[in-house]
Amino acid sequence: MTAAVVSVASDAAHRFTKPVRGEITLVVGLGVADDAHAGVTVQHRSRVARDPAALNLRQVHLIHAELFAELAGKGFAVSPGLLGENVTTRGIDLLALDRGTRLRLGGGALIEITGLRNPCRQLDRITPGLMAATLGRAADGMLIRKAGVMAIVIEGGVVRSGDAITVVFAPPTRLPLAPV
């Protein structure tokens, strides 16, 4: 299966869910044009409260559609944009990527994976128990965060549903993902 964009979403207001769009435009160093989380510095309210001058490593949020199928098996109805992501993917194991991996989305946009999205309690406002369902445990007891990855924009461009996703760079040394 070829990795592809399933859906794109953005919202100019600070709401948890994002409406699905026909396309989004990624802007170098900022994120998704006209999205509340776009900016050179952090835009997520909890991060702004801690350090408003911190660099925005959460410009683009990606979630794998395979998570939706897993959640459906647990009784949760989840669809693109509902968990606040900008890009829903299929056919690429986002959680297995290393920090610094670069992905080409469609023909133009290039993003760099910065880390994991840390699921928050706002998920339980959608459906009680959803936050816990986006977490798991590895055999060694380590917490597994399944709510997608975050990225920064290296090269801008328009991203649409159906666009191919290509890994164009993977760090030569393993750089495991951590929450950002």
Whether pTM exceeds 0.85: yes
Q: How far apart are CA 55 and CA 140, in angstroms?
A: 32
Does the 4-169 domain belong in CATH 2.40.33.20?
A: yes
Q: Please give the pLDDT value at position 1.
A: 67
How much is the pLDDT for 149? 98
Residue boundaries of the structural domains of the chain: 4-169
Instruction: Report, as ranges of residue numbers, the positions in the chain whose pLDDT lies below 50.
Output: none
Say what the pLDDT of residue 127 is. 93
Name the residue among 94, 116, 101, 75 with its Cα closest to residue 154.
Answer: 101
CA distance 115 to 61: 10
Question: What is the pLDDT, as a whole number, of residue 64?
Answer: 98
